[in-house]
A and B are shown apart, each in its own frame.
Chain A
Amino acid sequence: MILTDFDYVKPGTLGEAVALLAAEGSRVLAGGQSLLVDLRTGDGTATRLVDIRGIAALRGVRREGEGRLHIGALTTLAELAADPLVRAGAPALAEAARANGDPQVRNLGTLGGNLAATGRATDLPVAVIAADATINLAGRGGQETLTADAYATRGLPAGAVITSIEVPVREHRHHSAFEKTADRATRYPLCAVAVRAAYAGDGTAADLRIAVTGATARVQRLRGVEELLLGGPTGTGEVLAAFRAQPRDMFVPGRGASAEYLGHLAGVLTARALARAAAR
């Protein structure tokens, strides 16, 4: 495949980038791990690439006040996977970053790019949704924040640049984990699940967030499963039963796997993620 022609600009500030992106056909270039592939295959188009990698404000991981982590959108997947603050405070996010592609992809691919690549099932969105993170955006209307649940239901507004995310650091009672079965060809998730759970003294689930991608039409929070499990045990049997109780059309076939299998797989991965989270 031959890359189509496009202009290339590399602004130094966020303001310049947002102004450049206002033009039709402009796309954000960060790690390029999805965008450049799409431009080659014809699955995406662009007349101008706005390379945001020169914008220092989009980098870095730091503690933000009490119990929050601020993670810049240009943080690479390799940095996320290795960062001690992320690993301690939001282990599912670090695990999801580590589960991406291969070392070359992780060295170039970014947090923001992974969250913005909505055309395909990527690894980080489930971790961000399960962690109840907020997503900071810059757009023509200025700065904006998006809750994880709004991101899960509505996706990203057009023309916005992800600048960072804010992750609630795991409080003492919150535990998270990420599980994935990769598609053999692409290594994108055939199914991936992230969970965040808190347990009562008797081991029953007191608080629960479960997000899934790959097995469903788009990344989503599984409120129906959460409701069935809340207040009870979360062993494999209970989790698989909760998945079986979901509407039949919740899971969709794809990549050679049936909806029936993918629904089952999502249940198994959720059970495993919950078991690991509980053990943390």
Chain B
Amino acid sequence: MTIAETTSLLGQPIDIREDEQLLRGEATYVADLRLPGMAHMAILGSEHAHARINGIDTSAAAAMPGVLKVATAADFAGVMPLPCIWIPGGVESHFPPHPYGLPGSRPVLSGDVVRHVGDPIAVVVAETPKQAAAAVKAIVVDYEPLPVVTRADRAIEDGAPQLHEAVPNNLNAYWTCGDKERTDRNLAEAEVVVELDLVNQRTINSPMEPRGAVGHYDQATGDYTLYASTQGPHNHRFLLAALVLGIPFNKLRVVAPTVGGSFGTKGYLYPDMPLVLLLSKELNRPVKWVDTRTGLMNSTVQGRDHRQHVVLGGTRDGRITAVRCTSYANLGAYPSTIGPGVATALMGRSITGMYDVDAAFCEVYAAFTNTVSLGAQRGSGRAEAAFLMERLVDKYATEIGVDPAAVRRQNLVPATKFPYDNGLGWTYDSGNYQENFEKALEMAGYADMAGRKAEARGRGKRLGVGIATYVAICGVGPSTRMSQEGMLGGTWESCNIRVHPTGEVAVTVGSASTGQSHETIFAQVAADQLGIDPATVRVYEADTLKAPYGQGTYGSRSYSMAGPAIALTAQKIKDKMCRAGAAMFKVPEDKVVYANGKIFAEGDEENGKTFAEMAMAMWYHWYLPQDIEPALDETTHFDPPDFNYPFGTHVAVVEIDELTGETEVVAYTAVDDAGNIGNPKIVEGQIEGSITHGLGQVLMEAAEYDDEGHLITSDLRTYALPRAADVPFFQLGKTVTPTPHNPLGAKGAGEIATVPPAAAVANAVVDALSDLGVQHIDMPITPEKVWRALNGTSGAAQ
């Protein structure tokens, strides 16, 4: 057959079909679900960050109006603890136990000891949410407070409070990557060495929709259904059925209704999921639980939280020869489902970014503390890596008196060196870093900054400019490779395409959108590949009963993982149509042409068939050869040969008010390379949201725990999130370097632009204050910290 060149739908900014129902508030979230006979669950979380529980009195709660059940850990003695499935790869690690010998995490309810504020102790199920909430308050817990530790570096010190019997000194793992000897030698021999102590502060994932779960046990069939805000329904089904509940896989269905954002929080197992299922079975009624904002902040995985000592060595003339990072990663009280892997591999292997560095080494002490569990947050690991590297490069440039842009230019990995082994474990697939870097500098007007600085000074403002580059591993990924990284599971993706007799198409994928416009882009990929109108394509996902197995949405993977699965499946459909066409047109297969959704014998387009006519013909299957099966229904499972590595250069321009210390980001240029882009409208939305997310961390966001382990910033009145008015108009550009690792040439896009903004803005602030000798200001860079730096007072500035 011949597949003719056709006008591509890919790359077109077609309208996002999900937006209208989302913007009108018409989409159905977990909180909107109403099942007949549904009861409501509330969870009692610990008031103490670390305490022994000497007793729980539930009698008053049980007697309250509408209360159907009060349960504590004793009610779930037969239920397994939640497992952890991404552990630090290749090193000794210590976890709480799981009966299958797997790394364990936490019990569904804590019985003897609580380890963070919010640690679930008891639940109430009542007729209404209000009754359940009221009854939870009537449960009396006899706590015996224990000493508390909230910092990873302190948790591994001798004499620190101990969280888990099976984890000596709270040390989950000491993990390393890179060449320690060579790095240390290069540092010892370096002409210039610069160092920084960095706090990449903990941040709170703040999707618009907090999590929720509805459990429904059908007594007639013995089937369980979980409706949950999940970004990976198949994974949740497997982990819950096999490793927590111990029920047949066939008995559990997981459905994700519309999910209102995730940013890395909704792929995890949380105690509420097994709890609603177990209580539904016990009460023979559907049981619903929906979190509050403050509940989310005390239960849902948080992000970042590394304390680092970082060192860079180089020559006097600007050649970087070594980078070394020692990091203390705070995993929280229990390992989240994938937390330990995020804190080690994603960060450590990424620390040299776009630079061709002779030797690098990273060591991570991953430790448990009395805080909420750590997980991914958009850009996780890679953002921490870019922050340390880009801050180091600026300090190095200042030290040797060379323009920071020139130092970067001198050290970029040359375009001729791909695939490039970064010496830390990643092999960069493709890149043209020079083109990307120069484009960003030109768009930002980097060459003209001196004049702008002088002009701003006349207005009482200090203008600063900061550059940050990055490489962000995405497209997770190759399953075997991920197993080497400590992932206990597969990371492939899937697609099924079913062509209806009318020629309409159903595309079903294993992924599950949490706001990434999957319906639009997956229909666009299928329509492009099949040469049909995208309006005739429906996309289904997020229901384990209907969707082919897949791993969900995370790590900016869906377009570069499910997208190729769709393209490969469409190819199977076209191949089959052409084989049928050969029989119908009575020509050899290689004389059948498929073009723009039409099938015809070469040179005879007039007597060809449309896509819809072929669909109907295959549905009837009249007079077709026996070796061509009826109907058009194909499935592909895609496991890529390796990851993909998007990259980019961001330039931030800030103005600092000399009197108040307020920092305003007045211009922001981002040039990102995500390979071939399917729908620029979707990608631009993700990039703008990602930059805003990064600006939040550098300027205002911080999860603050007091010494007793109480989260001080436990609602949106105390935890600042960036609003539209806080960010400038973003000047976006792109370069396009396709990956060889999938048929679309697509790289990850959803989180990549979260990686560099914190470093770009921090560099810009330090640039604005450089004449004062300021070398670093810890995030979040608040007006008071800058004011103190301006006045040379107190310890805010190093």
Chain A residues in the interface with B (C-beta under 8 A): 1-2, 5, 41, 102, 181, 183-187, 236, 256-258, 261, 264-265, 268
Nearest CB of B to A274, in Å: 14
**Chain B, 125-138, contact with A by CB distance < 8 Å: what is the 0/1 string?**
00001100100000
18 A–B pairs (Cβ distance < 8 Å), ordered by A: A1-B292, A2-B130, A41-B715, A181-B662, A184-B726, A185-B700, A185-B716, A185-B717, A185-B720, A186-B717, A256-B782, A256-B784, A257-B782, A258-B784, A261-B783, A261-B784, A261-B788, A265-B660
A1 touches B294 (CB 8 A): yes
A236–B719 touching, CB < 8 Å: no
A181 touches B130 (CB 8 A): no
* A2/B662 in contact, CB under 8 A: no
Residues of B within 8 A of A187 (CB): 723
Q: How far is the CA of A157 from the CA of B788 in the complex (A)?
A: 41
**How far, in whole Å, are A257 and B783 apart by their CA atoms in the complex?**
9
Residues B146-192 near A (CB distance < 8 A): none
- Closest chain A residue, CB of each to CB of B662: A181
**Looking at the complex, which one of B292, B293, B718 makes contact with A185 (CB distance below 8 Å)?**
B718
Whose C-beta in chain B lies nearest to the C-beta of A41?
B715
What is the chain B residue whose CB lies nearest that of A37? B717
* A264–B787 touching, CB < 8 Å: yes
When A and B form their complex, which 10 residue pairs have the shortest distance between CB atoms, in order from nearest? A184-B720, A185-B720, A261-B784, A184-B700, A268-B659, A186-B717, A257-B784, A2-B130, A2-B133, A268-B660
A258 (CB) vs chain B CBs: closest residue: B784
Restricting to B714-749, which residues have a CB under 8 Å from any CB of A? 715-721, 723, 726
B659 touches which of A186, A236, A258 (Cβ 8 Å) = A236
Using Cβ atoms and an 8 Å threshold, which residues of chain B touch A184?
699-700, 720, 726
The answer for the CA separation of A5 and B134 in the assembled complex, in Å, is: 12
Q: A15: shortest Cβ distance to chain B, in Å?
A: 34
- Taking CB atoms, residues of chain B closer than 8 Å to A183 are 720
State A258–B782 Cα separation when bound (angstroms). Answer: 12
A198 and B716 CA atoms in complex are apart in Å by 41
Find chain A residues with CB under 8 A from B699 CB: 184
Inter-chain CA distance A65–B717, complex, in Å, is 43
Q: Are B660 and A185 in contact (CB under 8 A)?
A: no
Using CB atoms, name the residue of chain B closest to A5: B130
Instruction: Give the tally of cross-chain contacts (CB within 8 A).
Output: 42
Q: Which residue of B lies closest to A272 (CB)?
A: B659
Contacts beyond the supplied A2-B129, A187-B723, A261-B787: 13 A-B pairs with Cβ under 8 Å:
A1-B292, A1-B294, A41-B715, A102-B723, A181-B783, A184-B699, A184-B726, A185-B718, A185-B720, A256-B784, A257-B784, A261-B783, A265-B783
Residues of B within 8 Å of A257, CB to CB, are 782-784
Contact A181 B719 (CB under 8 A): no
Which residues of chain A come closer than 8 Å to B130, judged between CB atoms?
2, 5
How far, in angstroms, from A264 to B720 measured CA to CA in the complex?
22
CA distance A189 to B618 in the complex (A): 68
User: A2-B130, A2-B133 are contacts. A185–B662 as well, Cβ < 8 Å?
Assistant: no
List B641-685 residues whose CB lies under 8 Å from chain A: 659-660, 662
**Residues 284 to 332 of chain B near chain A (Cβ within 8 Å):** 292-294
A22: shortest Cβ distance to chain B, in Å?
28
- B binding-site residues for A, Cβ under 8 Å: 129-130, 133, 292-294, 659-660, 662, 699-700, 715-721, 723, 726, 782-784, 787-788
B429, chain A: closest CB distance, angstroms? 39
Instruction: Give chain B residues whose Cβ lies under 8 Å from the Cβ of A2.
Output: 129-130, 133
Would you give the shortest CB distance from B718 to chain A, in whole angstroms? 6
Distance in angstroms from A6 CB to nearest chain B CB is 12
Residue of A nearest to B725 (CB): A102
- Evaluate contact between B660 and A181: CB separation under 8 angstroms: yes
CA distance A5 to B131 in the complex (A): 12
The smallest C-beta distance from B296 to any residue of chain A, in angstroms, reads: 12
The distance in angstroms between the C-alpha atoms of A54 and B133, with both chains bound, is 34
Instruction: Give Cα A181 to B663, complex, Å.
Output: 12
* Interchain nearest-CB distance for B782 vs A (Å): 7
Measured CA separation A264–B660 after assembly (Å): 8
A5 to chain B, nearest CB (A): 8
> With the chains together, A236 CA to B715 CA distance in Å?
37
Q: Which residues of A contact B660 (CB under 8 A)?
A: 181, 265, 268
Contacting residues, chain A, for B715 (C-beta < 8 A): 41
Nearest residue (CB) in B for A188 is B717
| Complex contacts, A41 vs chain B, CB 8 Å | 715
Q: Taking CB as reference atom, which chain B residue is nearest A3?
A: B130
Most buried by B among A184, A261, A264: A184
A255 to B44, CA, bound (A): 28
Q: How far is the CA of A132 from the CA of B303 in the complex (A)?
A: 49
Residue of A nearest to B133 (CB): A2
Q: Which residue of B lies closest to A183 (CB)?
A: B720
Most buried by B among A5, A186, A187, A256: A256
A78 CB to nearest B CB, Å: 16
Which residues of B have CB within 8 Å of A258? Answer: 784
A262 to B10, CA, bound (A): 53
Note all chain A residues with C-beta closer than 8 A to B659. Answer: 236, 268
Q: Nearest-CB distance from A248 to chain B (Å)?
A: 16
Complex CA gap A258/B293 in Å reads 27
Once the chains are docked, how many angstroms separate the CA of A5 from the CA of B130?
9
Closest to B721 in A: A185
Across the interface, name the chain B residue whose C-beta is closest to A4: B130
- What residues of chain B lie closer than 8 Å to A181, measured between beta carbons? 660, 662, 783
Across-interface contacts of A265 in B (CB, < 8 A): 660, 783
Bound-state CA distance A189–B662 (Å) is 14
- Cα of A184 to Cα of B664 in the assembled complex, Å: 13
Return chain B residues, CB-CB under 8 Å to A256. 782, 784
Query: Nearest Cβ in chain B — how far from A184, in angstroms?
Result: 4
Q: Give A257's nearest chain B residue, CB to CB.
A: B784
- Per the bound structure, the CA–CA distance linking A261 and B782 in Å amounts to 11
Q: Is the CB of A185 within 8 A of B719?
A: yes
B293 to chain A: which residues have CB within 8 Å?
Answer: 1
Nearest Cβ distance between residue A239 and chain B, in whole angstroms?
A: 11
- Least distance between B737 CB and chain A CB atoms (Å): 37
User: CA–CA, A185 to B701, complex, Å?
Assistant: 9
Query: Nearest Cβ in chain A — how far from B226, in angstroms?
Result: 23
Contacts of A236 in B (CB 8 A): 659
CA gap between A102 and B725 in the complex, in Å: 10
Q: A24 to nearest B CB, angstroms?
A: 22
| Cα–Cα distance between A41 and B659 once the two chains are bound (Å) | 36
Q: How far is the CB of A31 from chain B (nearest CB, A)?
A: 18
Quote the shortest CB–CB distance from A243 to chain B (angstroms).
12
Contacts of B787 in A (CB 8 A): 261, 264
**In the complex the two chains form, what is the Cα distance from A183 to B720 in whole Å?**
8
Q: Which residues of B contact A1 (CB under 8 A)?
A: 292-294
Residue ID in chain B nearest A40 by CB atoms:
B292
**Residues from chain B with Cβ under 8 Å of A5 in the complex:** 130
Residues in B with CB closer than 8 Å to A186 are 717
Could you tell me the distance between the alpha carbons of A257 and B662 in the complex, rounded to whole angstroms? Answer: 13
A265 to B292, CA, bound (A): 35
Interface centre among B294, B787, B788 (most CB of A within 10 A): B787
Separation in Å of the B295 CB from the closest CB of chain A? Answer: 9
- Report chain A residues within 8 Å CB of B700: 184-185
Bound Cα distance from A1 to B700, whole angstroms:
24
**Which of B659, B699, B721 is the most central at the interface, judged by chain A CB atoms within 10 Å of its CB?**
B659
In the complex, A37 Cα to B133 Cα: how many Å?
A: 18
What residues of A have a CB within 8 angstroms of the CB of B716 in the complex? 185
Inter-chain contacts of B721 with A (CB < 8 A): 185
CB distance from B720 to the nearest CB of A (A): 4
Query: Which chain A residue lies CB-closest to B42?
Result: A2
B796 to chain A, nearest CB (A): 10
For residue A102, which residues in chain B have a CB less than 8 angstroms away from its CB?
723
* A238–B510 alpha-carbon span in the complex (Å): 67
Most chain A CB within 10 A, of B294, B715, B717, is at B717
Query: Quick one: which of A2, A41, A102, A186 has the most chain B CB within 10 A?
Result: A2
Q: Tell me the bound Cα distance from A185 to B700 in angstroms.
A: 8
In the complex, A184 Cα to B698 Cα: how many Å?
Answer: 13
The answer for the CA separation of A268 and B659 in the assembled complex, in Å, is 7
- Which residues of chain B come closer than 8 Å to A185, judged between CB atoms? 700, 716-721
